[in-house]
């Protein structure tokens, strides 16, 4: 619940400061959080709010990548600025060492040996990284490298 309250508090502060960019990003975040709250029918817990914010970051990254491919650097930079604002509400990103340790434990736990075991290893590794801000795409890349070796 603290993340939702932080967004509300910062939204008011951005209005008072007349910071249009941050205000628009915070409104977008509040809308996404409120939508999820309405869907669940109860106030969001922090882990649910974190999942919503991660989705927003992922969407912005994909948009930025597409804008860069299309030669729209101005829009790509806007998306990247939005990512920075949203990420400021997320917990610190998991380090490569933490991700590597979770993958090692998941491989050992599942007895994975080939790339066919990717799904089981990903599920176990992401469960071990729950609560940390771990990018699933990055984890997937590292798991694929480990299972090929």
Domains of the chain and any CATH numbers: 2-87 (1.10.1510.10), 96-148 (1.10.10.410)
Report the alpha-carbon distance of residue 53 to residue 23 in Å, rounded: 16
What local confidence, expressed as pLDDT, does residue 20 receive?
95
How many residues in total does the chain contain? 149
Work out the number of other CB atoms within 10 angstroms of the CB of residue 78.
Answer: 18
126, 143 Cβ separation under 8 angstroms = no
What local confidence, expressed as pLDDT, does residue 3 receive?
87
Q: Is the dihedral of CA 57, 63, 68, 74 positive or negative?
A: negative
Mean pLDDT by 10 residues, the chain (149 residues): 88 94 95 94 88 92 94 94 92 80 83 79 81 78 79
Work out the number of other CB atoms within 10 angstroms of the CB of residue 76.
Answer: 19
pTM of the entire predicted model: 0.75
For residue 46, give both structure tokens.
């922090």
What local confidence, expressed as pLDDT, does residue 117 receive?
78
Alpha helices for the chain (secondary structure H): 2-17, 20-40, 46-69, 73-87, 96-110, 118-128, 136-148
Query: Long-range contacts made by residues 27-35, C-beta under 8 angstroms, separation at least 24?
Result: 28/56, 28/82, 29/53, 29/56, 29/85, 29/86, 29/89, 32/56, 33/3, 33/4, 33/7
Report the alpha-carbon distance of residue 51 to residue 55 in Å, rounded: 6
What local confidence, expressed as pLDDT, does residue 128 receive?
79
What local confidence, expressed as pLDDT, does residue 81 receive?
95
């Amino acid at each position: 619940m603290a993340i939702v309250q932080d967004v509300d508090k910062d939204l008011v502060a951005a209005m008072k400061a007349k910071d249009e960019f941050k205000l628009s990003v915070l409104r977008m975040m509040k809308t996404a959080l409120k939508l999820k709250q309405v869907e669940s029918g109860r106030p969001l817990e922090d882990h649910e709010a974190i999942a919503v914010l991660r989705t927003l970051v992922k969407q912005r990254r994909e948009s930025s990548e597409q804008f860069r491919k299309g030669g729209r650097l101005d829009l790509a930079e806007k998306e990247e600025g939005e990512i920075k604002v949203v990420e400021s509400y997320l917990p610190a990103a998991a380090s490569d060492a933490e991700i590597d340790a979770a993958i090692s434990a998941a491989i050992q736990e599942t007895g994975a040996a080939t790339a066919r075991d990717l799904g089981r290893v990903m599920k176990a590794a992401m469960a071990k990284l729950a609560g940390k801000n771990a990018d699933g795409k990055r984890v997937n890349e590292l798991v694929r490298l480990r299972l090929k070796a």
